[in-house]
Chains A and B, each alone.
Chain A
């Protein structure tokens, strides 16, 4: 859309809903500011009338100098196109906005996160509790005036590192037990985890049940904790399950065991420092994360990488997708009980791709390869040959082998077909993303819906399946690997010679004030980076729309009615990485 046209549509919306909204006129900002009272009305209207049926991201920004907190929403149409950004402002001292859960259930976890980290009360939210921090936590860490226990300065680099740096360990500055703060009336020793009461209170209560033989059998619900240390949870993830016999009556995920407040760290960091930190989000797809972050910053800076760098980026992102999907299929089979043989077959291929990553980027997993306006270094000699050999010969053969090995297997089929079904409408409503969304029949892939980088040049199919069960998610991933191979074959064929960096790569970039949202189709789904810059070396706000986290919103719902053994499989099919869920 040309600038003029876009402006017209923007104005049209203001005319359409008079009194409800105004254009966000701040320099570098986009979208609308909605009045707090009419937010729900507006959300309903854009959903019903304009087709914005996919609420991708909800987050808040603390504008401390203005004494305001702003909640930012990014909505999309499921048939593609750019975002509709809208915001609600609320005074900082008493931050509260209406909850959108009734319109977009996918806002559930995200609003809880915003409450937890920013202290924004969402009126009408069904279960507004902390989600990443624990109950005894004091304050809301993403507020700009909140200082962490090891606090030194509000932004890196810290002055005591140079020129008079003398190494001290954080433990010495801040000894154990003094490094936490509690709410005023809170005593950690006297605290009895309200966990049992509070956590379980929302769960379905079962009453007496008719056993079917004329007499009434009193049955009780049993609560089972799966995790946090449980091999099937792919990390430290806890689920509370209430069971009726072997069937799931209700399930609640408990998150945050791997929480390190990545976003706060990100706001202390300078822009370039965040690049290696993004590696550690979804650590199976580090360069996918790099990609999203680089896009967001480049949007703010208004630069574009050169042609060759674009090709290298796509190549890396697609190899990453294959790596992640291989891993996902391997672990899914582990979860289903086919212990480690399929997993190791998948890992073998993954190793070969990691060899390439290591040769190009210097690291197998924490690649830290993208820079603003390019990539860190050019491909070493001979690597393209290796990639080409892999993507034209070995990997197609191996993916076919995996296909033969698993797809028709009767046990796999009976464990997967019809289990954990997420219907189309629910998938959209719950803001599911990636293979989970596409297995539910929604033809949505960011690479197609709003092509970034040079994805519009490649020939590939968006894989969609319609049953929304474990089996379809598996098949979508399998097929997506084949599509990635197709893209990779085109990349190796077309990659031009030339520069790999626009301008000189700088360690301190100048980022003009404004906001941007960079999103990519990561293996796990839509990964978005929402950035607000105030022109200083450190980002003012650095938020991650993490697909693993948001995909879990519907997890409890789709498990209901299934056997407890299936929960493990369903979780495996959602394919989460805790580094990204908990951040």
Chain B
């Protein structure tokens, strides 16, 4: 019959339409703004309305999610920040759009280069969030962030992040990437132990 296909199709739309209400009734009052609500609404068995109410609700961020990098610092005993970065130069060398700029200086007394960067810039307008810098840093010193709400009013002053702006504590890194953190710490501990054993053997 001519028109049957149309009716069948409209049936699908109607089903979706009704389901969106049924679901609201089923989860009455608990459909939004609740722990686990999103998992249900967007899970594999989801029906009905699928959208989220940003910014009141936000998509959960998986651990691997990457946005603009940051520099990890450890807190020293007297509370000062010790950047892990040794300004080895690998990340500016691997960065595809070349948006990392590192200034390194020499110790005035010995003339040897100081391992910590004097300054560290990332032009976040240019950064393509590829994550290569974090992937290839041998010191786990630069990591990809989870904070994606970076809109600002002035791109000329606010969009070149300097060392200050880029630094975040190790505890923050641990909080956003627990699995990676645990894995890396274990690896470090192992290396330390191996070094220690070697020293003892000597």
Contacts and interface: CB of A to CB of B under 8 A. Distances in A.
Interface of A: 156-158, 160-167, 169, 269-270, 272-277, 341, 345, 348, 351-352, 355, 358-363, 366, 368, 376-377, 380, 386, 389-390, 393-394, 401, 404-413, 505, 507-508
A161 B98 contact: yes
Contact of B132 (A272, A393, A410, A412): A272
Contacts of A352: 42, 44
B101 A406 contact: no
B169 interface: no
A212 to B, nearest CB: 31
Contacts of B144: 362
Contacts of A359: 62-64
A302 to B, nearest CB: 22
30 contacts: A157-B92, A161-B95, A162-B89, A162-B101, A162-B102, A162-B104, A163-B103, A163-B104, A163-B113, A166-B121, A269-B96, A270-B94, A276-B130, A352-B44, A355-B42, A359-B64, A362-B65, A363-B65, A376-B131, A377-B64, A389-B44, A404-B9, A407-B5, A408-B4, A408-B8, A408-B9, A409-B5, A409-B6, A507-B94, A507-B132
B159 to A, nearest CB: 9
Contacts of B93: 157, 161-162, 507-508
Nearest to B134: A362
Given A156-B98, A390-B44, A363 B66 contact: yes
A507 B136 contact: yes
B131 A368 contact: yes
B89 A276 contact: no
Interface in B82-118: 87, 89-90, 92-96, 98, 100-104, 113
Contacts of A408: 4-5, 8-9
B130 A366 contact: yes
A409 B2 CA distance: 9
B50 interface: yes
A352 B46 CA distance: 10
- Central interface residue in A161, A351, A390, by most chain B CB within 10 Å: A161
B63 A380 contact: yes
A361 B64 contact: yes
A7 B136 CA distance: 41
Secondary structure class of chain B's binding surface, majority of residues: mixed
B22 interface: no
B98 A410 contact: no
Ranked 7 nearest A-B pairs via Cβ = A408-B5, A165-B101, A276-B130, A167-B121, A273-B96, A163-B104, A359-B62
Contacts of A405: 8-9, 12-13
Contacts of B6: 409-411
Contacts of A156: 96, 98
Contacts of B8: 404-405, 408-409
A129 B102 CA distance: 44
Contacts of B64: 358-362, 377, 380
Contact of B98 (A158, A166, A351, A389): A158
A345 B9 CA distance: 13
A393 B92 contact: no
Interface of B: 2-6, 8-9, 11-13, 16, 42, 44-45, 50, 62-66, 87, 89-90, 92-96, 98, 100-104, 113, 119, 121, 123, 128-132, 135-136, 144, 156, 160, 179
A167 B132 contact: no
B12 A163 contact: no
Contact of B45 (A163, A270, A394): A394
A362 B66 contact: yes
A128 B94 CA distance: 39
A163 B62 contact: no
Nearest to A406: B9
A345 B132 CA distance: 35
Contacts of A341: 13
Given A273-B96, A366-B128, A507-B136, A394 B44 contact: yes
A158 B95 CA distance: 10
A358 B89 CA distance: 28
A274 B3 CA distance: 51
Contact of B103 (A157, A158, A166): A166
Contact of B42 (A275, A351, A409): A351
A165 B130 contact: no
Contact of B179 (A355, A358, A380): A380
Given A272-B132, A351-B50, A380-B179, A410 B100 contact: no
Contacts of B5: 407-410, 412-413
B192 to A, nearest CB: 21
Contacts of B50: 348, 351
Contact of A167 (B44, B89, B101, B129): B101
Contacts of A366: 128-130
A355 B44 CA distance: 11
Contacts of A157: 92-95, 98
B3 A410 contact: yes
A411 B7 CA distance: 11
A309 B78 CA distance: 46
A505 B135 contact: yes
Contacts of B4: 408
A516 B4 CA distance: 53
A169 B92 contact: no
B92 A161 contact: yes
B123 A345 contact: no
Contact of B87 (A163, A277, A361, A507): A163
Contacts of A355: 42, 62
Contacts of B90: 507
Given A162-B92, A162-B102, A380-B63, A386 B9 contact: no
A505 B94 CA distance: 13
Contacts of B156: 169
Contacts of B16: 345
A389 to B, nearest CB: 5
A169 to B, nearest CB: 7
Nearest to A172: B156
B31 to A, nearest CB: 16
Given A161-B101, A358-B64, A408-B9, A276 B44 contact: no
A277 B96 contact: yes
Given A161-B92, A363-B65, A376 B44 contact: no
Contacts of A273: 94-96, 132
A407 B44 CA distance: 24
